Amino acid sequence: MSDTDELMILDPALQEKSVNMKKMENAKNKVEWKKEEKKKKKRKRKVKQHVDELKHPEKTDAEKPASLKQCLGPKCVYPSRPGSKYCSDDCGMKLAAERIYEILPTRIQQWQKSPCIAEEQSKKILERIHREQQDTHARLKYMECRFHELEAIIQRGKQQTVCRDEESKKGSKDGVDLKIFCVSCGQTINMSVALRHMERCFAKYECKSSFGSLYPTCIEGATRLFCDVYDPQSKRYCKRLQVLCPEHSRDPKVTDDEVCGCPLVHNVFELTGDFCRLPKRLCSHHYCWEKLRRAEVDLERVRALHKLEELLEQERNVHTSMTNRAGLLGLMLHQTIQHDPLTTDLRSKDEN
């Protein structure tokens, strides 16, 4: 039976009493539900307030002046700023200065008493770097002398006269028809024109690649090293060797009466003092010899300059490490404890 059926069977008085009981239960449940809702809202409000205090502590400190701490500055009686340990920047600087005056002298004495193995190693590295720098400077001076000597040899070779007898003998010797493959394009070419073809073929492929930099070369005392021609399209300066750049420096036109002038050698390396007096346009054995000799000297000079740059970078890094090792911050943050006052050398020694 349902609740309505039960109420119909009961007396009117009992029916009224049961209805009142149900109303009281419903009212009680409403009151309890409202209390639970209030507790939840209060709990959420507290959690939100706690999160805001964690995120913005300076606001809470400003709202509650009694919670502000005293400034840590020496002889300062004022409260600290919100979110800071000091009332002003001057108090912080004064406290830092007093700490330095108090701690730094003892740390310096400890540093001077016990030798540092890293400092000794850095000094040895600096000595080695200085020796290498002196050797590289001497090498660079030697290459500069070779540069001027080569230019003098080229001028002497140009002053030679063309010998027609040697031209006829050379033509009879080179009459053999031999073929060779080009190393760049792979075509078969005659031996007499092999050097000319390979040089032009290599220059053609070299023009397709670019070697540029945003800044021009500025080396004191150096002459004729890099091309340094500005390209407005790429906004770069060409960094090929000036004598080998096929894009911005072309070989001058050879006249009919111009002599080869290449210095002749004996046993590969011994100079004979004579020069090749064949016409330059017919000499196939010494093709572009001036350009190749100049490029060899310039390349050695560039290598010496790169070596000097690397040594300067190494010296700068060693000086930086030595400065940081005995600097104010390092001495204040690090300390070596000397347990035995009689022992001055704190380095670990080999048991053997």
Sequence spans of domains, the chain = 117-329
Q: What is the DSSP letter of 192?
A: G
Across the range 165-178, mean pLDDT stands at 55
C-alpha–C-alpha distance, residues 186 and 177, integer Å? 18
Q: CA dihedral in degrees (133, 137, 143, 147; nearest 10)?
A: 140
* Residue type present at position 165: D
The alpha carbons of the chain give a radius of gyration, in whole angstroms, of 46
pLDDT value for 207 = 78
Cβ atoms of 259 and 158 closer than 8 Å: yes
Lowest mean pLDDT among 102-116, 130-144, 161-175, 281-295: 161-175
C-alpha–C-alpha distance, residues 115 and 73, integer Å? 36
Across the range 98-126, mean pLDDT stands at 84
Confidence of residue 56 (pLDDT cuts 50, 70, 90): low
pLDDT value for 135 = 95
* Residue type present at position 140: L
| Residue 1 scores a pLDDT above 60 | no
Angle at 183 between CA 177 and CA 186, to 5 degrees: 75
Higher pLDDT, 115 or 104: 104
Higher pLDDT, 36 or 51: 36
pLDDT value for 262 = 86
Lowest mean pLDDT among 81-85, 164-168, 207-211, 309-313: 164-168
**Closest listed residue to residue 249, CA positions, set 310, 303, 206:** 206
Cβ atoms of 304 and 136 closer than 8 Å: yes
DSSP H or E segment with residue 294 = helix 289-325
Higher pLDDT, 96 or 55: 96
pLDDT value for 352 = 45
Q: What is the pLDDT of residues 177-229, one digit of tens each?
A: 678 888 778 888 887 788 888 888 888 877 777 788 888 888 776 777 888 88
| Residue 18 scores a pLDDT above 50 | yes
Confidence of residue 37 (pLDDT cuts 50, 70, 90): confident
Mapped onto helix, strand or coil, the DSSP state of residue 64 is coil
pLDDT value for 129 = 95
- Phi, psi torsion values for 170, nearest 5 degrees: -65, -35
Across the range 20-48, mean pLDDT stands at 78
Q: Give the β-pairing of 270-275 and 188-190.
A: unpaired
Q: Return the beta strands (E) in 2-126 as ranges.
A: none
What's the pTM value of the predicted model, to 2 decimals? 0.60
pLDDT value for 50 = 65
Angle at 151 between CA 301 and CA 299, to 5 degrees: 20
Please provide the average confidence, as pLDDT, over all residues in the chain.
79
Residue 233 has a CB neighbour count (10 Å cut-off) of 5
Across the range 287-300, mean pLDDT stands at 88
